[in-house]
Amino acid sequence: MRLPQEIIRDKRDGRALSEADIAGFIEGLTRDQVTEGQAAAFAMAVFFRGLSLDERVALTQAMTRSGRVLDWDLPGPVLDKHSTGGVGDTVSLPLAAMVAACGGYVPMISGRGLGHTGGTLDKLASIPGYDVAPGLDRFRQVTAEIGCAIIGQTADLAPADRRLYAIRDVTGTVESLDLITASILSKKLAAGLQGLVMDVKTGSGAFMAGRAEARALAESIVTVANAAGLRTRALVTDMDAPLASCAGNAVEVAYAVDYLTGRAREPRFHAVTLTLAAEMLVIGGLAADVAEAEGCLTASLDSGRACETFSRMVAALGGPADLVEAADRHLPRAPVVRPVTAERAGIVEDVETRAIGLAVIGLGGGRTRPQDAIDGRVGFTGLARPGDRVEPGDPLGTVHAADEAAAERAATALRAAYRIGTVSTPPREAVMERLG
């Protein structure tokens, strides 16, 4: 390959890179022939100069080929969903089971929490015994037998992405649309998918807060994925308020169990989950249209098939076989649980969702450094929604904390995240746009 510094210089000066240049640079990164400083310089050059469609496809495919690419021999389509992240977004847990119950296969490779957003992997890690990092053989076996398996990225899949992401995380280049696109899709292509549905969040709790930014990312992912041979469509969904009425790890697992059993199905969470899952069934050829897909998914919930599938997946990956029946007994519980009350009367006009995510981190439910341990017990439940009317002393939510001091700090942060006024504004549509 050409010298890394020559490739960096070309991109720094706005010149297009060839497929061979990009492939050589990523191969060098994988084999430690490209230094961290050179990778950081490359990421910064891409951040400021951008990549063409051809360059994005080349980067995505090079990172995909940096490790093992799975192939599947299954009687149904291999499908997945990926979210750009938010607060109270525990959709993946019920969705994977619902799609599997309708004939799809969902080998979902999920991530840890990033910034103020919660991570599916951290939620599953709060389940006693659940193995979030099984070997590929076990991953394949569980997917084939149960229909779904949710695990973390393994060392074998897209290792170049893992290294480049760690460098981006500390060099201020995480937000690059081009690098986000390649990072997401390289892992999905390495997983051997036949169809992908993207959930691109927008609002105060999303990385892409503005709708135009979210649409641009959705268009980039759909265009690059289809160019790379992966059928993909994207939804832009609302993250101006927590999607579920809770935020944390174990509390979100309990919420997902309640959703699957039918004990609680909040309308906005249900709308996003059902719509994403329906798009997966359509793109996989398991339903002729969204209406037919939603009928199958609703039946999977009402009959208990989706709940049973989730329960079997948890048990197959080392968790309790009776988690669904005895979630209160198995999931860790915080020693301090108390309501956070409103101090004035009025209507919830707005919620600073990002602040709620940061408050969960402050409780110990997220990381400020990569090596930090997660306290799966902590978080919030019963969060008030925009449009709710409250009186002094009414709960805005319930804090779950490790001690009284942490609970008091979190209560202060939660109250500050709510704007109580006199105007009731209509909520934004949960699913705002479809692309692809």
Rounded to the nearest 10 degrees, how much is the dihedral formed by the CA atoms of 239, 244, 249, 252?
Answer: -150
79-327 has which fold? Pyrimidine Nucleoside Phosphorylase; Chain A, domain 2 (3.40.1030)
Contact partners, residue 256, CB within 8 Å, separation at least 6: 90, 93, 94, 310
Tell me: the pLDDT tens digits for 267-295? 999 999 999 999 999 999 999 999 999 99
Q: E strands, 300-430, where?
A: 336-341, 346-351, 379-381, 389-390, 395-401, 418-421
How confident is the model at residue 370, as a pLDDT?
Answer: 61
- Average pLDDT in the 168-192 region? 88
Active site residue 187: yes
Active site residue 21: no
- Asked if the model's pLDDT at residue 372 lies above 80, the reply is no
Catalytic residue among 56, 116, 123, 188: 188
What proportion of the chain, given as a percentage, has pLDDT over 90? Answer: 84
Catalytic residue among 82, 162, 330, 400: 82
Active site residue 80: yes
Active site residue 11: no
Mean of all residue pLDDT scores within the chain: 94
Catalytic residue among 81, 163, 268, 330: 81
User: To which CATH superfamily is domain 332-421 assigned?
Assistant: Pyrimidine nucleoside phosphorylase-like, C-terminal domain (3.90.1170.30)
CATH 1.20.970.10 in the chain, residue ranges: 4-50
- Asked if the model's pLDDT at residue 303 lies above 90, the reply is yes
Active site residue 311: no
Active site residue 120: yes
Helix (H, G, I), strand (E, B) or coil at 57: helix
How confident is the model at residue 400, as a pLDDT?
Answer: 98
Helix (H) or strand (E) holding 198: strand 195-202
How is the beta sheet containing 395-401 ordered, strand by strand?
A: 247-248, 379-381, 395-401, 336-341
- Average pLDDT in the 22-29 region? 96
- Average pLDDT in the 331-335 region? 97
Tokens of residue 224, six digits: 């690059």
C-alpha 349/C-alpha 360 separation (Å) is: 22
Tell me: the pLDDT tens digits for 128-151? 999 999 989 999 999 999 999 999
C-alpha 182/C-alpha 57 separation (Å) is: 8
Pick 204 or 404 by higher pLDDT.
404
Tell me: the pLDDT tens digits for 76-105? 999 999 998 889 999 999 999 999 999 999
Q: Are strands 247-248 and 379-381 parallel, antiparallel or unpaired?
A: antiparallel
CATH 3.40.1030.10 in the chain, residue ranges: 79-327
- Average pLDDT in the 220-231 region? 94
Considering the four listed CATH numbers 3.40.50.11400, 3.40.30.10, 1.20.970.10, 3.40.50.1970, the one that applies to the domain covering 4-50 is: 1.20.970.10
Backbone angles phi, psi at 206, to 5 degrees: -105, 160
Active site residue 183: yes
CATH 3.90.1170.30 in the chain, residue ranges: 332-421
Query: Which residue is listed with tokens 């089971």?
Result: 97
Which range scores top for mean pLDDT: 175-184, 209-218, 414-423? 414-423
Active site residue 169: no
Catalytic residue among 163, 187, 215, 233: 187
Active site residue 52: no
